[in-house]
Structure 1
């Protein structure tokens, strides 16, 4: 006759696993776990992430949860059950998928959430981002380009004007991604108007008030980075001189 206590243990374990899965399984396309999978595929198709590199996280402000893409999973193949969930207040994981590791980007995402009160944070290995860190020194600068108007001023309401200068700080890469946290924090605090930080020979971190704004900022910035490379190749200054 089966042991009753064993049945209770199995039943309790199944219930616990089910509760954890409920954090990431939803028929709502706008659920953070579903959006992370969708956007990772989108970034893969755009060539911004390859293999298992890059990452994204989304903050659920209502429940104060962070949803994070895992490490070691090809971005175009991520499914909701691969997603990590963290309690934003105490920074403890409340869902950790078996046999997967949290993204090494996590400490950097948390920095952007804490300092900028962001709603989502994106990290890509865009070739344009990497090349621009080899063409510019301490900061990336570009002005008088229409797409600049998609980027927020951050320190005041509204977006940059066409004639404004977009400035994105560049920090030096490290052997391990989590070692970038302190210099990324310093860059965010030193440049209060930035919504992104470039990492030399590595990629870029971009954040926004919501996941959709972060996506828009990332797309606009990547467009401007690619354009800046072409301008440099043609001998055109990226910052227009005042007449």
Structure 2
């Protein structure tokens, strides 16, 4: 039986606070930067997103806001604005079927996007298995899109580089936004975290060795 919405929001808030604390410890969510989300409902799409303007190392289970498929706030009684990037979270969740979408400002992801604006090619790395690819004989490209303050523009750019999963070419569950940060997503919180951490490691390796 599905929990009442209020209980699911609190549960999502606790999960996102724990993830934000983890990523802040890595230096990926310094100060108020970055945002994380969990899908609460699919039809219509509803996400819980970390509230804007808060130190991500100090979030509690109450520090989330609800958004719709357009990234707009759903609770008129909640004065806190959703993150400026909420619309892209909603678009990625709708487009990929993800249950969680994480956005952080990992330094090496920003460097990689600056160095390789056409996408970051990675090949013959064991860690590729963690994002659904072979460790050998396959070139995987982490997509890069230009930064824009309009999430409708960013959503269109995401659609241009996103490759839907097929038997031959599984999607890459991560994206770099140039001069900004990176997104990763997955079926649930654990998958999104795994994809984020593995992709960041691969990008860090690329930056350090090329």
TM over 0.5: yes
Which residue of 2 is the match for residue 24 of structure 1? 9
Which segments of 5 or more consecutive residues in structure 1 lack a partner in the other structure?
Answer: 1-18, 26-30, 153-159, 233-243
Q: Pick from 46, 52, 57: which aligns with 1:71? A: 52
Q: Pick from 189, 192, 197: which aligns with 1:211? A: 189
- Residue pairs, 1:36-75, within 5 angstroms: 36-61=16-41, 65-75=46-56
In 2, distance between residues paired with 1:92 and 1:140?
32
- TM-score with structure 1 length normalisation? 0.74
1:145 and 2:138 are equivalent in the alignment: no
In 2, distance between residues paired with 1:97 and 1:143?
49
Which residue of 2 is the match for residue 170 of structure 1? 144
Higher CA-based Rg: 1
Report how many residues are paired.
Answer: 200
Which residue of 2 is the match for residue 84 of structure 1? 65
Q: Contact conserved, 2:146 with 2:178, CA < 8 A, in 1? A: yes
Deviation at 1:61, TM superposition (A): 4.6
1:95 and 2:80 are equivalent in the alignment: no
Change (3 A) 1:107 1:65: closer
- Cα-Cα RMSD: 2.5
Deviation at 1:229, TM superposition (A): 0.9
Deviation at 1:20, TM superposition (A): 7.9
Q: Pick from 203, 224, 229: which aligns with 2:202? A: 224
Which residue of 2 is the match for residue 110 of structure 1? 90
- TM-score with structure 2 length normalisation? 0.84
Change (3 A) 1:93 1:132: same
Which segments of 5 or more consecutive residues in structure 2 lack a partner in the other structure?
Answer: none
